Amino acid sequence: MIFERKPVFLQNHNLYKKPLNAIRKCDFCVSILVLYAQNMHKNSILESYVDRALMTGEKLRKIAIINQKGGVGKTTTTINLAAGLAKRDFKVLILDLDPQGNISTSLCVKSEKNMYHILVDDVNPKECIVNVQENIDVITSDQSLEKAEMILAGETSRETVLRRVMDGVNNYDFVILDCPPSLGLLNQNALLYAREAFIPASTDFLGINALKKMQIAIEALNDIFNHKIFISAVIPTMYDRRNKTCIEHYNELQRGYSDVLTNPIRVNSKLKEAPSQGKSIFDYANSSRGAKDYEKLVEIIIDEGE
Ligand SMILES: Nc1ncnc2c1ncn2[C@@H]1O[C@H](COP(=O)(O)OP(=O)(O)O)[C@@H](O)[C@H]1O
Ligand SMILES: [Mg+2]
């Protein structure tokens, strides 16, 4: 990882702990970052950091919750992150890009027109938005999205359809994309629309393995499409501190991803039960460990953006 060898004066300047808006306002910080990024590997997280630091006026944060491995907590994180942000009065739009359609099942929301119609029939996304609760809107998906992926495969500029069609949807603070467990066209569309990737990684061997592959895939995509999505959060999930393997893998994450690692989301049965009631963890079991962990994650995400 690039941050293993932090230049001393960067440490002194405390750049790594500074909120982004403070960095943006400080000419010294920005110039140091730019200088360093120019000398670093092209796709380093540092370069992304510069990009982010220099980004001004972009209020909307577009976040892909992504990992090509299934069952690592992508949908759970999407729903509870959205709910936590909504509680704090941020306006959130969830895009379900998974043909399993778990967002609509978990939030008990139905829609006549969905992601398929946006991607294939050129339907305006605004016609597909459904309000779920205060501050949370959703564009759902269902199995038809598998067909959409096949149809898109025959089109030109097929990887950037989502980016083009979502261009006019700006009246949110966050757009959060629940991505499918694959590296196919749907995820390429997600990554080329979003500016940030959050990777939930289960704290086990396969989870970390998938995280590494995802990082390589994102770097390749950035290279090929001259895009700049960056991994701004690695979220350890299914964490059980009584389990030695979990601890070992969590430690590995701390060593490799310290600059973007968030608090761990512990194993919690309430998180499993909440979708069957159509509720977020905050509405289902507000004092549970799951609610506490997602609350903390929300705090980190908000701080990071300020
Ligand atoms: N921290 C957790 N503790 C216990 N169960 C969890 C936790 N996070 C997710 N789950 C459960 O694990 C399963 C897979 O989670 P999900 O969010 O659907 O993963 P993905 O979207 O990556 O496939 C679901 O049944 C979910 O309720
Ligand atoms: Mg899912």
Is-contact 177 97, C-beta < 8 A? Answer: yes
- Which atom of ligand 1 lies at the shortest distance from residue 269's CA? 4
- Which atom of ligand 1 lies at the shortest distance from residue 272's CA? 27
Measured in whole angstroms, the distance separating CA 167 from the mean position of its chain's CA atoms is: 19
Enter the pTM of the model.
Answer: 0.85
Question: What does the alpha-carbon distance between residue 92 and residue 274 come to, in Å, rounded to a whole number?
Answer: 20
Whether 113 and 129 share a structural domain = yes
Whether 47 and 106 share a structural domain = no
Question: What does the alpha-carbon distance between residue 263 and residue 172 come to, in Å, rounded to a whole number?
Answer: 25
CA distances to 180, 235, 253 from 204, rounded to whole Å, are 20, 13, 10
Whether 202 and 126 share a structural domain = yes
**CA atoms within 13 A of residue 89's CA, in its CB half-sphere:** 0
Buried b (16+ CB within 10 A) or exposed e, 23-60: bbebeebeebbeebbeeeeebbbbbbbbebbeeeeeee
Note the pLDDT of residue 20: 63
Helix residue ranges per DSSP H, 229-288: 244-257, 269-273, 281-284
Whether 9 and 150 share a structural domain = no
Measured in whole angstroms, the distance separating CA 126 from the mean position of its chain's CA atoms is: 22
Through-space distance between the first and last CA atoms of the chain, rounded to whole angstroms: 25
Whether 110 and 252 share a structural domain = yes
Whether 28 and 95 share a structural domain = no
Q: Which of 12, 47, 44, 19 is nearest to 33 (CA)?
A: 47
Domain boundary among 40, 57, 74: 57
CB within 5 A of ion ligand 2: which residues? 74-75, 102
- Ligand 1 site residues, Cβ closer than 6 angstroms: 70-76, 102, 181, 237-238, 265, 267-268, 271-272
What is the domain extent for residue 85?
A: 58-305
User: What total number of domains does the chain contain?
Assistant: 2
**CA atoms within 13 A of residue 283's CA, in its CB half-sphere:** 18
Low-confidence ranges of the chain (pLDDT < 70): 1-25, 28-58, 304-306
Whether 47 and 85 share a structural domain = no
Note the pLDDT of residue 1: 32
Q: Ligand 1 atom 2: the closest Cα is on which residue?
A: 267
Instruction: Please give the mean pLDDT across all residues of the chain.
Output: 87
Helix residue ranges per DSSP H, the chain: 8-13, 20-25, 27-39, 45-54, 74-87, 102-107, 115-120, 144-152, 161-165, 185-193, 205-225, 244-257, 269-273, 281-284, 289-305
CATH number at residue 192: 3.40.50.300
Whether 129 and 24 share a structural domain = no
Whether 178 and 117 share a structural domain = yes
- Dist. CA 71 → ligand 2 center (Å): 7
Instruction: Output the DSSP codes for 118-144.
Output: HHHS---GGGT-EEEETTEEEE---TH
Whether 47 and 120 share a structural domain = no
Coil, helix or strand at residue 33: helix
Whether 12 and 70 share a structural domain = no
Whether 120 and 46 share a structural domain = no
